[in-house]
Amino acid sequence: MNIDSIYPSLFWNSNEVKDVEWRDINWMLVRKHTRRLENSIAKAVEYHDFEQVRKLRRIWNSSKLVKLLAVRKVTQDNRGRKTAGVDGIVVKDGKQRLALADKLELDGKTLPLKRIHIPKANGKTRALGIPVIEDRAKQELCKGSIQPIYEVMAEPNVYGFRPARSTHDAIEAIFSSIKGKPKYVLEGDLTAFFDNIKPEAILESEVIQMTDKKTQKQIQAWIEAGAIDKGTFNKTEKGTPQGGVISPLLANIAFMGLETMLKEWAKTWPGGKRNNMDSLNVIIYADDFVVLHKEEKIIKEAKERIAKWCKDKVGVELNDAKTHISHTSTGFDFLCFNIRQYPVTTNKQGFKTLIKPSKNSIKKHTDTIHDVLKRNKSAKQEAVISKLNPIITGWANYFSHVVSKEIYKKVDHIMWEKIWRWVCRRHNSATRFMQSTLKCA
C-alpha cells in the first residue's frame, strides 16, 4: 500500500509524525492496512511459519499506521475515552493523539491502575481497574498482533470476546446440541475469574510464547502494575483486571484448553472415540460455560474434572453458588436466556426446545425502566422518551431471535403501567398528556 495515499507526510521510517492533521488521515486505508497485516499474521500461524510470525509482529509493533489506529480506538472510538487513569490525563484533540502515537512503544513500563467499584445485581460490587490512556493505547497495540494468533489456535466453542462471535452464536450452539435429544446440563461459573488468573496461565500459554520477549515483559508489567484504591496502593501479582483493553483476550488465552481436556477424556470412554466426543458438548463464554451430555454421571464427573483443571491450570475455583446440574426438561439460564424442552404430542420426539428471555433479565429490564422514571420525576416528556427508547430498543433487539412474543406483551404492559404512574404523578391532566406522549413516541 502506498503510504502517501493515507497522508503525504507519513512514512514508515520517520522517527516522528510531522505536519499531520488528525482529521485529514484516511482512516479507511489505515484500517485496510491493519486488517491485511492481521490476516498475514493469522496465515503465518496457520502454516506454522513462526519466523514469518515474528517478522510480521515486528512490523506491526513499529508501524506508525497501527499506532495511529490504536490511539484512535482508545481516545476517540471507545466508550471509556473520557475516563482518566491515575494520572488524570484525558486525550481530547488531534495534536495530543498524534503526540501519543509518536511515542507509543512496548517498553515494559506501566502505571498503576485506578480502582473503581461498580454495583452488581446481587448487591455486591465488581472491582474494575482503569489504566491510564497511554497504557490503554499500548494494550490496543499489543492486542492487535496477539488476537490473530489466538484466533487460529482457539477452541471452536469459545464465543466470548472474539471478533464475529456473540452470545447469540453460543445460544445457537446450545440449541443445535440439544434439539434432537434431552440432556443433563452443568451450568458453570468461576469465582472472581479475572482477578485470580495465575500469571503462568497467561505467560506460559502457546499463544504468548509465540510473541517476543518485549511483549511478554510488557504483559507481565500489566499483571504486576498494582492498583490505587481510594489513595492506597495495593499490589497485584495475579489476574487481568476488568477495565483494561487487553484483559478479555488475556482471560481467553488463560482459559484455553478446557474443551480439549474434556474431549480427550471422552476418548477414554468405552465405544467409538468419535461418537463419544460428539456426545459431550461444551459451550464457553468468558467465565461462564455449560457442559451437556445425556448421562448425569458423566456431567457429575465432568464437574469434578473441571474444578481440578481450573484450580491447577488457571488458579480459579468454581463458584458453588452459581454452578448447578440440571436437565433440559426443567430448563436452565445462560447469558440471560432460558433454554428449556417442553413436552408436546405434536412430534415423534415428544418435546419441543424453546428459548426465551430469562426471568432475571425481564426483572432487570423492568427495574431499569423504573429507575429511569424515578430519577426523572420532573423531566420533560421528550427527555424521558429519549432515555427510555435506547433501553427498550436494545433489550428487544437482543431477544428478537428467540421466542419472545408473549414476554414482549407482558413487559410492554408492565412498562405502560409504570409510565402511566409517572404521568399521573407528573401531570394533573394525565389522560390528555398520555395521548400527546404516545404521539411523540
Secondary structure in 3-state letters for 89-107: CCCCCHHHHHHHHHHCCCC
pLDDT value of residue 127:
85
The maximal CA–CA distance of the chain, rounded, in angstroms, is: 75
Cβ–Cβ < 8 Å for 335, 170: yes
Cβ–Cβ < 8 Å for 46, 152: yes
pLDDT value of residue 14:
41
Rounded mean pLDDT for each run of 10 residues along the chain, 441 residues in total: 46 47 93 95 95 95 95 94 93 94 94 89 82 96 96 96 95 96 96 92 96 95 93 90 91 96 96 95 96 97 97 94 95 97 92 97 96 92 95 97 96 94 75 56 54
Closest CA to 306 of 362, 259, 245: 259
Tell me if residue 78 falls in helix, strand or coil: coil
Tell me which residue has cell 426443567: 330
- 413 Cβ contact partners less than 8 Å away, ≥ 6 residues apart: none
Taken in order 233, 236, 242, 246, is the CA torsion positive or negative?
positive
Query: Residue 235 gets which letter from DSSP?
Result: -
Q: Give dist(CA 412, CA 366) in Å, integer.
A: 10
Query: Residue 269 gets which letter from DSSP?
Result: S
pLDDT value of residue 119:
82
Q: Give dist(CA 77, CA 68) in Å, integer.
A: 12
Query: Residue 179 gets which letter from DSSP?
Result: T
- 125 Cβ contact partners less than 8 Å away, ≥ 6 residues apart: 117, 118, 119
pLDDT value of residue 2:
46
Cβ–Cβ < 8 Å for 349, 182: no
Tell me if residue 23 falls in helix, strand or coil: helix
Q: Give dist(CA 18, CA 42) in Å, integer.
A: 32
Q: Residue 193 corresponds to which amino acid?
A: F
Q: Which helix (H) or strand (E) holds 333?
A: strand 332-334
All 3 cell numbers of residue 106? 512496548
All 3 cell numbers of residue 275? 461418537
pLDDT value of residue 66:
96
pLDDT value of residue 10:
47
pLDDT value of residue 16:
44
